[in-house]
Amino acid sequence: MPEVSAAAATAASDADWLKSLAAYRQPSLAKAVWQLVNTFVPYLALWVVMVRLEQLDYSYWITLALTAVGAALLARVFIFFHDCCHGSFFASTRANRILGFVTGVLTFTPYGDWQQSHIRHHSTAGGLDNRGVGDVWTLTVEEYLSASKRKRLAYRLYRNPFVLFGLGPAFLFLIWGRFPSKRARRRERRYVHATNLAILAIAVTAWLTFGLKTYLLIQAPIMLFAGAAGVWLFYVQHQFDGVYWARQDDWDPMKAALDGSSYYKLPKVLQWFTGNIGLHHIHHLQPGIPNYNLQRCYNNVKEVQIEKPLTLFKSLRTMWFNLWDEQEQKLISFWALRSHPLRASLRVG
Q: Kindly give the residue spans of alpha helices, DSSP state H, lying in 147-290.
A: 149-159, 161-162, 168-174, 186-209, 212-236, 253-258, 268-273, 280-285
Q: What's residue 344's pLDDT? A: 61
- Give the whole-angstrom CA distance, residue 158 versus residue 136: 10
Q: What's residue 154's pLDDT? A: 97
Span 300-328, average pLDDT: 94
Asked whether the CA dihedral 31, 83, 292, 174 is positive or negative, the reply is: negative
Query: Is residue 12's pLDDT more than 70?
Result: no
Whether the Cβ atoms of residue 156 and residue 169 lie closer than 8 Å to each other: no
Look at 68-77, 111-120, 124-133, 207-216 and tell me which has the smallest mean pLDDT.
124-133
Q: Each residue of 122-137: pLDDT tens digit?
A: 999 999 999 888 889 9
Span 250-255, average pLDDT: 92
Mean pLDDT of the chain, nearest integer: 92
Asked whether the CA dihedral 126, 326, 307, 320 is positive or negative, the reply is: negative
Query: Is residue 218's pLDDT more than 80?
Result: yes
**Per-residue confidence at 276, pLDDT binned at 50, 70, 90?**
very high
Look at 5-9, 30-34, 169-173 and tell me which has the smallest mean pLDDT.
5-9
Query: Is residue 282's pLDDT more than 50?
Result: yes
Task: Map residue 207 onto helix, strand or coil.
Answer: helix
Q: What is the distance of C-alpha 339 from the center of its chain?
A: 33
Query: Is residue 104's pLDDT more than 80?
Result: yes
Q: What's residue 13's pLDDT? A: 53
**Per-residue confidence at 169, pLDDT binned at 50, 70, 90?**
very high
Span 239-263, average pLDDT: 93
Span 289-297, average pLDDT: 98
In this structure, are strands 323-325 and 330-332 parallel, antiparallel, or unpaired? antiparallel
Span 151-176, average pLDDT: 95
**Per-residue confidence at 10, pLDDT binned at 50, 70, 90?**
very low
Span 275-300, average pLDDT: 96
How do the domains of the chain map onto residue ranges? 21-133+160-311
List, as one string, the DSSP characters of 69-127. Answer: HHHHHHHHHHHHHHHHHTT-SSS-HHHHHHHHHHHHHHTT--HHHHHHHHHHHHHHTTB
Span 23-40, average pLDDT: 97
Q: What is the distance of C-alpha 305 from the center of its chain?
A: 21
Task: Map residue 322 onto helix, strand or coil.
Answer: coil
Q: What's residue 297's pLDDT? A: 97
Query: Is residue 5's pLDDT more than 80?
Result: no
Whether the Cβ atoms of residue 217 and residue 63 lie closer than 8 Å to each other: yes
Angle subtended at Cα 37 by Cα 33 and Cα 39, rounded to the nearest 5 degrees: 115
Span 316-337, average pLDDT: 93
- The 10 Å Cβ neighbour count of residue 160 is 15
Share of the chain above pLDDT 70, in %: 94
Q: What's residue 346's pLDDT? A: 62
**Per-residue confidence at 339, pLDDT binned at 50, 70, 90?**
confident
The closest of 235, 233, 300, 241 to 265, measured between CA atoms, is 233
Query: Is residue 183's pLDDT more than 90?
Result: no
- Give the whole-angstrom CA distance, residue 325 versus residue 169: 26
